[in-house]
Amino acid sequence: MVANRHDEPRNRGAIWSLVVATIAISFAAIFFVKAQPTHPLVSAGLRLTMAAAIMFPVSARYFKLMPNRALIRCVFAGLCYATHFGAWVWSLMLTSVAASTTLVTATPLFLGLIGWLTGRDKPTKTLWVTLGLASGGIILISHGSAGAGDAPMLGNGLALLGALGMVGYLLLARGLATYSPWAILTIASGVGGGVLLLTAACLGVPVEAASTDAFFWIVMATLIPQLIGHTALTYSLRFAPPTAVAMATVAEPAGAALLAWLILAETITINVVIGCAITIFAVACAARNHQ
């Protein structure tokens, strides 16, 4: 079947937005680790609330174009955001960067299963193959960093919970793809950030960065992974199903592991190197198939 030439710019737009998103979100783990010992709920909450504040002047005019049903959907997406970021950022304090980012990117596995069960956005055979190949790569990355962290089992469990939170966000955002991604992200970020900071306050945690340096790294997490990375992810849902979008994020552990080696001096083993290569190859194959 010959592809419609009018679809080519859309496909290229989706691929490039996913490339930008993957590179941007790969920095998130590094920035959050550098922001320690700020409490993870505070780090994640500040990132989201600052992002919402920055986006509000741009997105406010789009709110009136959204019906109440869409606005409510954005609120639920914000609750999923709170789950994703709260659990995942906490996991970074307990396990290695490579293991945490590996498990939090299990999102496409869950989305693929949901798509297979529901029949909506059902993954293609090629996507299943590349997803399986990528899963093998991230298992190698995780195995190569096993034992790192103060409580790796708990940290890994929180990272997996973070993956489930992102599943909810992508499914909800998929139904909002016709609206402005800035509006969607502003509401979701504001709700998610508010929930996290309120939870921290209720737990008696000071709602502030641990130091000026820590605040700087939270700002960096706001500007690059959030405003650039998650905007690109949300935008790409206009052109690709959630499983394909989430597939691009599978390359995040490779980028994060490399950055952790370069910036944080985390040990990188041969398993991690091989796993990174396999994962990036699988994601590239998936992107090529989507053209």
Assess if residue 7 is contained within a domain. Answer: no
pLDDT per residue over 220-273, tens digit each? Answer: 999 999 999 988 888 888 877 777 777 667 767 677 777 777 777 666 677 767
Taking residue 233's Cβ as centre, other Cβ atoms within 10 Å add up to 27
Q: Which residue has the higher pLDDT, 52 or 107?
A: 52
Helix-helix angle 40-63:68-91, to 10 degrees: 160
What the block records as the tokens of 252 is: 């995040």
pLDDT per residue over 9-37, tens digit each? Answer: 455 666 778 888 888 988 888 898 889 89
pLDDT per residue over 92-129, tens digit each? Answer: 888 777 677 777 777 777 777 777 777 776 667 777 77
Assess if residue 10 is contained within a domain. Answer: no
Q: Which residue has the higher pLDDT, 268 or 189?
A: 189
Assess if residue 18 is contained within a domain. Answer: no
Distance CA 44, CA 48 (A): 6
Assess if residue 257 is contained within a domain. Answer: yes
Instruction: Provide the number of structural domains found in the chain.
Output: 1
Contacts of residue 20, Cβ cutoff 8 Å, sequence gap at least 6: 228, 229, 232
Q: Which domain holds residue 144?
A: 26-290
Assess if residue 8 is contained within a domain. Answer: no
pTM: 0.80
